[in-house]
């Protein structure tokens, strides 16, 4: 099966497994795990922030960030397709007691004027807006990459209005590679940034939350509260370190393969946009049925809507899989 359901389906490579097996470990809740400490220091450096926290998932990174930047009763603004609103099981309401206000952005990219209009002034009737979350790349926006000046405008707008700015960078390295702009530069204006090791980077587990030292130290307590304090987590951190060392530059191969899939689908008559990173969204009638038929032809993907399939390229999909993928689509009834 060629598995295009998500970039989370990758399995650790032999070299990554070896690095994990040989990791030096300690009890990370005591701060004793040298490999986790090394990973957190590297993440802080990569993001250009003072400190970083290793967490089990992107969801936990976002939820800790929301908790750190808000108080119960506050309002958090984000794009309508954003992950914490759609796919984090209502966590922001339960963990932070906040309400989420969504704003539509074409391809998942917010328009500063629309954000400004959504920021309500102090009024006894309103939940005070205290946080803006931005997602780069935008998953539901098609793996879209924010222009660097848009990222900056949004964060500055948030700050000007007294809001903090959090960047959900589950696929920040895809954005970094696609734009050619390193993370510490792209996300300089953001108070906190999260990124995942378990997506295109190919590690089995883990994300990082990066930001100011005092905030990250408070985040360490929130992580413990959520049950995310892990003991000999160096085994997992070693996978993440291996991914950061060996799997960033190769993301461009995933982007190029996604482009080739899109071009092939266009030539078959499908109406697809050229992907900016590793996701191809395919408008199609009866997407759930199409996904079943594609799976019968050896290609797994997800129907993200009744009329839309999502194909995601990653470490475990090869260019030599392209003909099988296109043949599977060519067999679908049109």
Q: Which residues sit at the interface with ligand PLP, rule CB under 6 A?
A: 57-59, 62, 83, 135, 139, 168, 170, 196, 198, 207
For the CB of residue 140, give the shortest distance to ligand PLP in the complex, in Å. 8
Enumerate the β-bridge partners of residue 30. Answer: none
Q: Which is nearer to ligand PLP, 170 or 272 (CB)?
A: 170
Complex with ligand PLP: residue 157 or 196, whichever CB lies closer? 196
Residue 155 Cβ vs ligand PLP, minimum distance, rounded to whole Å: 17
Dihedral sign for Cα 113, 158, 131, 207, please. positive
Residue 10 or 59: the one with the smaller Cβ distance to ligand PLP is: 59
Nearer to ligand PLP, 211 or 264 (CB): 211
Compute the distance between CA of residue 167 and CA of residue 69 in angstroms, rounded to an integer: 12
Neighbouring C-alpha atoms within 13 Å toward the C-beta of 298 = 12
CB of 84 vs ligand PLP, minimal distance in Å? 8
Rounded CA gap, 2 and 9, in Å? 11
Residue 230 CA to residue 35 CA, distance in Å, equals 13
Between 130 and 139, CB nearer to ligand PLP: 139
Of all residues in the shown chain, the one whose CB is closest to ligand PLP is 58
Question: Residue 181 has what DSSP assignment?
Answer: -
Provide, rounded to whole angstroms, the least separation between the CB of residue 299 and ligand PLP.
Answer: 20
Q: Enter the DSSP assignment of 305.
A: E
Q: How far is the CB of 1 from ligand PLP (least distance, A)?
A: 20
CB 81 → ligand PLP: shortest distance, Å?
9
Looking at residue 110, what DSSP letter applies? Answer: -
Nearest residue (CB) to ligand PLP, 139 versus 144: 139
User: What residues contact residue 76 under an 8 Å CB cut-off, 6+ apart?
Assistant: 66, 70, 84, 92, 96, 98, 99, 100, 101, 129, 130, 131, 132, 133
Shorter beta-carbon distance to ligand PLP: residue 179 or 326? 179
What is the rounded CA–CA span in Å between residue 270 and residue 279? 15
Q: How far is the CB of 137 from ligand PLP (least distance, A)?
A: 8
- Strand spans (E) along the chain: 2-3, 51-55, 75-79, 99-103, 129-135, 164-169, 192-196, 207-211, 279-283, 299-300, 302-305, 308-312
């Amino acid at each position: 099966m060629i598995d295009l359901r998500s970039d989370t389906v990758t399995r650790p490579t032999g070299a990554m497994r070896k690095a994990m097996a040989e990791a030096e470990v300690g009890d990370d809740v005591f701060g004793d795990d040298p490999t986790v400490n090394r990973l957190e220091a590297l993440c802080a450096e990569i993001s250009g922030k003072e400190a970083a926290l290793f967490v089990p998932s992107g969801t936990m990174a976002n939820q800790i960030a929301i908790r750190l930047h808000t108080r119960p009763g506050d309002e958090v603004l984000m794009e309508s397709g954003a992950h914490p609103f759609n796919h984090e099981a209502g966590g922001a309401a339960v963990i932070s007691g906040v309400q989420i206000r969504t704003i539509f952005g074409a391809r998942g990219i917010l328009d500063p004027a629309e954000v400004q209009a959504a920021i309500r002034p102090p009024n006894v009737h309103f939940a005070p807006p205290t946080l803006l979350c931005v997602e780069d790349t935008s998953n539901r926006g098609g793996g879209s990459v924010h222009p660097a000046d848009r990222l900056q405008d949004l964060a500055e707008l948030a700050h000007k209005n007294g809001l903090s700015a959090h960047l959900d960078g589950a696929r920040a390295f895809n954005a970094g590679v696609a734009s050619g702009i390193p993370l510490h530069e792209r996300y300089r204006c953001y108070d906190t940034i999260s990124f995942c090791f378990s997506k295109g980077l190919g590690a089995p587990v883990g994300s990082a939350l990066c930001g100011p030292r005092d905030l990250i130290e408070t985040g360490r307590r929130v992580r413990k509260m959520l049950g995310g304090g892990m003991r000999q987590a160096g085994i997992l951190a070693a996978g993440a370190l291996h991914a950061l060392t060996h799997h960033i530059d190769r993301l461009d191969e995933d982007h190029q393969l996604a482009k080739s899939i899109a071009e092939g689908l266009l030539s078959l008559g499908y109406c697809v946009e050229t992907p900016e990173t590793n996701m191809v969204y395919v408008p199609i009638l009866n997407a759930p049925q199409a996904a079943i038929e594609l799976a019968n032809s050896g290609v797994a993907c997800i129907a993200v809507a009744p009329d839309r399939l999502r194909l995601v390229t990653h470490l475990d999909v090869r260019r030599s899989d392209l003909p099988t993928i296109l043949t599977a689509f060519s067999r679908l009834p049109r």
